[in-house]
Amino acid sequence: MADDVKILGMPAASGRWLMVFVGLTIQLCLGAIYAYGVVRVPITAYFQSLGLAPTAMDMTWPFVIFLLCFAISMPLAGPYIQKVGPKKVSLVGGVLVGIAWFAASFATSPLMLIPLYGIIGGIGVGAAYGCGIAVSSAWFPDKRGLAVGLTVLGFGFSSAIVTQINKFLLDGGMGIMTVLKIFGIAFFIITVVLSMFLVFPPAGWFPAGWTPPTPKAGAAPVANLTRAEMVKTKTFYGLWLCYTIGALAGLTAIGIAGPVGQDMLKGAGLSVPVATAMVTTLIFPFALANGLGRPIFGTLTDKLTPRNTALITYVLIIAACLLIYTNYASPRAYMIGFILLWGCLGGWLAIAPTATASYFGTKDYAKNYGLIFTAYGIGAAIGGIVSAQAKDLLGAYQPFFLIVAVLAVLGMVSAFVLMKPPE
């Protein structure tokens, strides 16, 4: 059967990589949410030109609501990915994403951004996000971590591309609301067209020459658990908690990269314009680390198991946080620390879906990972709120990195004890 399956006329062995490319490109459109920190600056200026005085929290709520709707809608979309297929679900999500970006251009206040951008866009991304992941996971049982990591690479790297396009259009004299319209139209067209190619392999298909690995003596057999069965295992709660901590650390790093960079670079003696320019320049390598972290940690998950790879991310998070905390006036510490934090966030977006398939099987994968993904939403909500208020609550950003380091230690303990195949 493996030799008979074709993808767009190509043998499955080579054609299945097209599924990864399609998923990656759709994720590039969906992941534009990570560029909100860039577009919010000119949007804030636009609101100010209307006579408004939006606070940092006012402008943060659309981002937080977006991520919450994203995380809530994804588990709701999971059953439909399996029931009606990834093509239709991704199509609906892509339409909503395009509408959200286009509709946001008509907002005249931060409050209007919440329903137009946050709610509509969050639901759209939540619907479409799991489709490409589920398809890649199904076509690559032999290289699941790599395939999933490459697919979600687009989500992480999107902000680097969107940031550069946004800068190019604004420097060319285009208004930010016109830029939002262009993004909306582009995302609509790309996601709708590419969604038509998403398809699962036939039931019982596997790559030619590959057979499922035989469990080692004494190891738990490969499980194919339903969502109801999954939530009864300690493994589920361990993975969920570990994912929450990893997402919180990374998303907070994204949210405060700008102000922390300003503090650290000004502390190093750089002027405000130079510090601002340097922070803007560093967004590209940060986003690159976020994107590349997915295939890198996905491959490590294949080779080292999800638990061991999770432990590696926590060691890196602790190292990054302590480096920043003890060298708060060092441009080098800022660059290295935030590359590690952004990279580990990307890593968790490969570790978690791969671990879900490894621990709980692929029979109910879309529904299972949808529930696991709520951990990202919790981490996103906490990280988004903390990124706007940490300095007010703690008096400075610097002590916050000790808190993240402590959370990473908790993550290490949880991973060591609970992240293992269900018994």
95-148: per-residue pLDDT in tens?
999 999 999 999 999 999 999 999 999 999 999 998 998 899 888 888 888 888
Cβ atoms of residues 291 and 156 within 8 Å: yes
Q: Give the C-alpha separation, 175 to 310, whole Å.
A: 43
CA distances from residue 60 to 193, 262, 384, 386 in whole angstroms, order as listed: 32, 19, 7, 10
Position 266 scores a pLDDT of 83
Position 219 scores a pLDDT of 45
Q: Give the C-alpha separation, 355 to 349, whole Å.
A: 10
User: Quick check: 319 pLDDT over 80?
Assistant: yes
Instruction: Give the residue among 136, 143, 150, 146 at the shortest CA–CA distance from 24.
Output: 150
Q: Which fold has domain 223-423?
A: Growth Hormone; Chain: A; (1.20.1250)
pTM: 0.78
User: Quick check: 1 pLDDT over 60?
Assistant: no
Average pLDDT score over residue span 225-245: 93
Q: 3-state DSSP call for residue 269?
A: coil
Position 40 scores a pLDDT of 81
Residue-by-residue DSSP string for 331-343: HHHHHHHHHHHHH
Task: Lowest mean pLDDT of 81-95, 118-132, 349-363, name the range.
Answer: 349-363
User: Quick check: 224 pLDDT over 80?
Assistant: yes
**Residue 97, Cβ density class (10 Å: 0-12 exposed, 13-18 middle, ≥19 buried):** buried
Percent helix, strand and coil across the chain, each to the nearest 5: 80, 0, 20
Q: Who wins on pLDDT, 132 or 164? A: 132
Measured N-to-C along each axis, helices 234-267 and 36-49 cross at an angle, to the nearest 10 degrees, of 60
Task: Tell me if the domain spanning 1-204 has CATH number 1.10.10.10.
Answer: no
Task: Lowest mean pLDDT of 82-86, 185-189, 365-369, name the range.
Answer: 365-369
- pLDDT interval class at 381 (50, 70, 90): confident
- pLDDT interval class at 210 (50, 70, 90): confident
Task: Lowest mean pLDDT of 151-155, 175-179, 339-343, name the range.
Answer: 151-155
Q: Give the C-alpha separation, 210 to 218, whole Å.
A: 23
**Which amino acid type is present at position 64?**
V
Position 258 scores a pLDDT of 74
Task: Lowest mean pLDDT of 75-89, 250-264, 358-372, name the range.
Answer: 250-264
The structure tokens 């939006």 sit at 54
Instruction: Give the residue among 119, 142, 186 at the shortest CA–CA distance from 358.
Output: 142
Average pLDDT score over residue span 34-60: 84
Instruction: Choose the most confident range, by mean pLDDT, from 119-128, 276-285, 374-383.
Output: 119-128
- pLDDT interval class at 388 (50, 70, 90): low
Instruction: Choose the most confident range, by mean pLDDT, from 73-77, 226-230, 241-245, 394-398.
Output: 241-245
Task: Lowest mean pLDDT of 150-154, 217-221, 338-342, name the range.
Answer: 217-221
Q: Give the C-alpha separation, 348 to 71, whole Å.
A: 15
Q: Give the C-alpha separation, 365 to 362, whole Å.
A: 4
Residue-by-residue DSSP string for 152-180: HHHHHHHHHHHHHHHHHHHHTT--HHHHH
Residue 413's CB is within 10 A of a number of other CB atoms, namely 13
- Return the domain boundaries, the chain: 1-204, 223-423
Position 387 scores a pLDDT of 65
Specify the pairing of strand 6-7 against strand 10-11.
antiparallel
